[in-house]
Amino acid sequence: MVPFRVRDIAIGLPGLVAALSLIATCPTAAREPAPAVPIEIAAQAVPLNIEDPALAEIGKLRWRGGLVLTSREPRFGGWSDLWVTPDGRALRSISDEGSWLTAALRYDTGGRLIGIESGLIGSLRGEDGQLLGNKLETDAEGLARLPDGGWLVSFERDHRVLQYPPGEESAGQGLAGRPRRLTTPPEFRRQPVNGGVEAMVVLPDRRTVLISEEASERPGTAVGWIVDGAATWSKFHYQTRDGDHRPTSLAMLPGGDLVLVERAFDRARGVRVAIKRVRVADIAPDAIVRGEELAWLRHPFSLDNLEAVAAASGPRGETLLWLLSDNNFNPLQRTILLHFELMP
């Protein structure tokens, strides 16, 4: 969770820095968990670059539209990871306040993202079947789809991974189910309190890849784990862009590699986000894994606290990406959904 906002108007870094003193004192909204309910979500279009609205490419990414999302539902926000259906028509997300969301996406005839439909929002349950309660329990950060239709959810603070059962997709019942806790190695529990596993994906061969946001054993790297089908955990080391960027999300690309988000923030430079391609073949026990940078986003691009990425194939066989931000339930931050095509 990173408290900042980059507005869709050109406030400049001085204005951003001035706002930070207010943001730092804004607490996360206190909300009681509630059962799943329908949710109405409003969407407002944003350009890729707020100072050059005609710009349509950055690095190897081609712009396919972006939206600022809002809702009157008090649980809407804090979205920390994302999964999009293979046809790109619907999303699933989890919040670091213990909520889950399902919603349908709308596109124009050219494939540009133009809106979001009504959906469902609910609260995650713990191993006892009860709704998760305080922040120690609810801080869900990573979401990964299992081959059987179930889900893995990683949590910070109380560092753990819960496996949720398959459920009826239209009702989001899988994430509403009763999970079981996976066995993790001792060092998994010793990650920084607010810097645990945010990047997680399940590979086609059923191995799971997890990367910590802040745990590190070598300079300039983040600790990663590979978990095989026998529940054996092995460590690797992911090389970050620099000492500031930290991994926040992983997704499987249609071609078999991974896409990873690295986010950085400081008061002087604001938010920066690197989008990387990671070769699955490079991920091995004790390896130092380096990604290929696809794009680097910073002001004046439309972005906020981007923590989530999803990928799927488009109707022409193109590779599509979606990026989602965590607004920290802060009125000075936004929930932004960005859509790109990955160019060859």
Kindly report the pTM of this predicted structure.
0.89
Number of structural domains found in the chain: 1
pLDDT confidence of residue 2: 52
Contact yes or no for 338/323 (Cβ under 8 A):
yes
Residue 84 lies in a domain: yes
**What does the pLDDT profile of the chain (344 residues) look like in tens digits?**
554 444 333 334 334 333 433 333 344 444 444 568 999 999 999 999 999 999 999 999 999 999 999 999 999 999 999 999 999 999 999 999 999 999 999 999 999 999 999 899 999 999 999 999 899 999 999 999 999 999 999 999 999 999 999 975 544 456 989 999 999 999 999 999 999 999 999 999 999 999 999 999 999 999 999 999 889 999 999 999 987 899 999 999 999 999 999 999 988 898 999 999 999 999 999 999 999 999 999 999 999 999 999 999 999 999 999 999 999 999 999 999 999 999 99
Residue 32 lies in a domain: no
Q: Under the phi-then-psi rule, with left for phi > 0, alpha for psi from -120 to 50, and beta for the rest, what region is 12? A: left
Residue 33 lies in a domain: no
Measured CA to CA in angstroms, residue 14 lies from 4, 19, 271, 333 at distances of 13, 9, 14, 17
Q: 46 — phi, psi (to 5°)?
A: -130, 150
CA-wise closest residue to 103 among 124, 86, 87, 89:
89
* 35 residue type, one letter: P
Domain span at 49: 12-27+39-342
Residue 115 lies in a domain: yes
Residue 34 lies in a domain: no
CATH number, domain of 174, equals 2.120.10
Contact yes or no for 308/82 (Cβ under 8 A):
yes
Residue 81 lies in a domain: yes
Residue 241 lies in a domain: yes
Cα dihedral angle (140, 272, 241, 1), rounded to 10 degrees? -20
Residue 97 lies in a domain: yes
